[in-house]
Chains A and B, each alone.
Chain A
Amino acid sequence: MATIALRHVTKRYHHTPSVDDISLDIAQGELVAFVGPSGCGKTTTLRMIAGLTDVTSGSILFDGRDVSDLPTYRRNTGIVFQGYALFPHMTVAENVAFGLQMRRVRGTAMAERVNDALAMVRLEDYAHRLPREMSGGQQQRVALARAIAIKPDALLLDEPLSALDAKLRQEVRDEIRRLQRSLGLTTVFVTHDQEEAVSIADRIVVMNAGKIEQVGSPQEVYEKPATRFVAQFIGLSNFLSGEVEAPGRFRIRGGGLLTYGDGKVNGGRQDLIVRPEKIELGAKPDQGLNHLEGVIDSVTYLGPLTEVRVRLASGEKLVAHRQNRRLGELETFQPGQPTTIAWAPEAGFVL
């Protein structure tokens, strides 16, 4: 267990940067999720922390100690890959024992630690199985046990849930979080899935094209995205085009005046952003809410909520999410029907 620090870490392949000048401090016992679209440099960053890929420039520190030049096998990291990467010719127990053997742990001490690690992922009864005799979820839990058995300075997970189906994904995710918390492991969790990142992380690092767009708690990156990219990538956003007239005052196309809480205050052409669940449908004009009129364009039932698309006078469409709290409510919304939408000023921001 250690703190991890990235200082101006850069990786170039054939002169094009895959990871471009990233700096970040990860506290001891913290779970940081790197999230971003495919190819944005998440895996490369994780591999540099693991020592599997050299840094082109910059440095990586574990507990303040520069490890940039240490090979993987001297770094004491536990890695879990998307494809499990278990040793196919070894039993589950031998897989977990491997890292301990490398650390010269022997005899009963080793047997105990192997058993403890397997117990933590509830697989102690599978010690003598071969990996191919187990399900995907079980294999990934073995990989997790193998990684934590060595008491790593850093637990590094690269898309550990992406090969699993939805139900299992949640189960293994909770397992990772529980273990990570109880062992106080400093953890880097890489995923392309923003929901996964939001649900597991202490802090989220949103990456795009090799750079960090924003670092913050799940709530911060969702409620206060720093950039347009983050607003688009984390959750759903509506973008209303218009102009900032004065700090906090936004004139939309077609003339209506709206107010907003956060964001840029300088004038010029901008977008006002508002999340679908913040928008209320059919509200009466009052209490200082932003109000707009429109026509229902489409209604999509999604189970726990209904997605209603509203076309404004300007032709722009806004998506509103509505919790399906009562049966029969849905029928009151029909495409073609006029409606009003409203949201609190502080729910909107301009980026």
Chain B
Amino acid sequence: MMSALASSLPRWIRGYPLKIAAYLAFLVVLAPLLAVIWVSFFENKIIGFPPTGYTLKWFVNAWNFERFHRGFILSVEVGLIATGVSILLGVPAALALARKKFVGHEVVHSLLMSPLIVPGIVAGAAIFMFFIEVEVLLNDRFKVQLPLAGSLFGLCVGHSLLALPWTVRLVTASLIGMDRQVEEAAMSLGATPWWTFWHITLPIIRPGIVAGAVFSFVASFVDLEKSIFLVGPGRTTLPIEMINYLEWNIDPTIAAVATIQALIIATALIVSDYFFKITRAF
């Protein structure tokens, strides 16, 4: 698609100017990240330029800071659960959306996509209020005490919701890009629809599913806005621990944590692309 767009441009733009623009955009996106990584190695506690020297002590500091430790583990746990839910619900949803015509098709599609569009703060507040209302309702009507707001369950539900659109979108894209005659060929050769799904369809859309999983995890792992409304006492995700830390301290420890975060995300993307060619899902 990009190349079709590019080739519709005047010839003089297509060569170097286009490449330079691409590299510039790349740099603008990457610059803050590179700055953070650089700062995480600064020796001086008060961030200033030029650095007085370089050190790894902020990484040690971050590692030894109990709350980052626990926040990291909770973020990984919640991220994995949200990813699991996102795949289990998102793949069937994508199949239905890409393959079936049904009443309310557009509505379901918009609903599944809405977490991408509605601002995180709004969605977070909405989920929070919804949880409170359900709690009140259960308590009043059925005398059931079910803590949702601030519970691990509530946190996982919220993160599953924010992860879901990634799986739906990426798997739908793979399904739409797939040649359906390949499935028909399999069935003409004697494969039942069920066998065809497991041995033909699923392997072909696997890059989309893996990409959906990776993006689900990353979206959950870095989420701040929704999580603010969903975490509870003693149950705080890493991004929120980072904000809390920033409130009282401003030293390169936070840059070290961000660097590790970025490293984990980059590794997840690169490894999954190496094994599953997830870039083909776009």
Contact = CB atoms under 8 A, between A and B. Distances in A.
Contacts of B133: none
Contacts of B73: none
Interface stretch (A76-84, A222-230, A244-252): A76-84
Interface stretch (A4-12, A97-105, A234-242, A262-270): A97-105
A143 B192 CA distance: 19
Contacts of A87: 182, 185-186, 200
Interface of B: 179, 181-182, 184-193, 195, 200, 203-204
Given A52-B184, A72-B184, A79-B184, A85 B179 contact: yes
Contacts of A98: 186, 189, 191
Nearest to B195: A102
A87 B185 CA distance: 9
Given A83-B179, A87-B200, A88-B204, A99 B189 contact: yes
A76 B188 CA distance: 7
B190 A150 contact: yes
Interface residues of A, number: 28
Given A73-B192, A89-B203, A81 B187 contact: no
A256 interface: no
27 contacts: A50-B184, A51-B188, A52-B184, A52-B188, A72-B187, A73-B190, A73-B191, A73-B193, A74-B190, A77-B188, A79-B184, A79-B188, A81-B184, A83-B181, A85-B182, A86-B182, A87-B185, A87-B186, A88-B182, A88-B204, A89-B203, A98-B186, A102-B189, A102-B190, A102-B191, A147-B189, A156-B188
B190 A81 contact: no
A85 B190 contact: no
Interface in A57-95: 71-79, 81, 83, 85-89
- Name, among B189, B195, B200, the residue most crowded by chain A CB atoms within 10 Å (CB to CB): B189
Contacts of B195: 102
A146 B189 contact: yes
A50 B190 contact: no
Contacts of A72: 184, 187-188
Contacts of B181: 81, 83, 85
Nearest to B206: A89
B190 A99 contact: yes
Contacts of B185: 79, 81, 85-87, 143, 146
B189 A89 contact: no
Nearest to A72: B187
A345 B241 CA distance: 98
Contacts of B200: 87
Contacts of B179: 83, 85
Nearest to A77: B188
Given A71-B187, A87-B200, 10 more contacts: A73-B188, A73-B190, A78-B189, A81-B181, A85-B182, A86-B182, A86-B185, A146-B185, A147-B189, A150-B189
B101 to A, nearest CB: 13
Contacts of A146: 185, 189
Give 3 closest A-B pairs by Cβ, nearest first.
Answer: A102-B190, A99-B189, A85-B181
A147 to B, nearest CB: 8
Nearest to B202: A89
A298 to B, nearest CB: 38
Contacts of A51: 188
A88 B277 CA distance: 14
A284 B112 CA distance: 81
A154 to B, nearest CB: 10
B186 A50 contact: no
A146 B132 CA distance: 60
A185 B187 CA distance: 20
Contacts of A77: 188
A7 to B, nearest CB: 22
Contacts of B184: 50, 52, 72, 79, 81, 85
B207 to A, nearest CB: 10
A73 B185 CA distance: 10
B191 A78 contact: no
Nearest to B180: A85
- Name, among B179, B190, B195, the residue most crowded by chain A CB atoms within 10 Å (CB to CB): B190
B187 A73 contact: yes
Nearest to B185: A85
A83 B179 CA distance: 9
A156 B185 CA distance: 11
B137 to A, nearest CB: 47
B277 to A, nearest CB: 11
A339 to B, nearest CB: 50
A88 B187 CA distance: 16
Given A83-B181, A85-B179, A85-B181, A78 B188 contact: yes
Contacts of A50: 184, 188
A83 B200 CA distance: 17
Contacts of A75: 188
B204 A89 contact: yes
B205 to A, nearest CB: 10
A74 B187 CA distance: 9
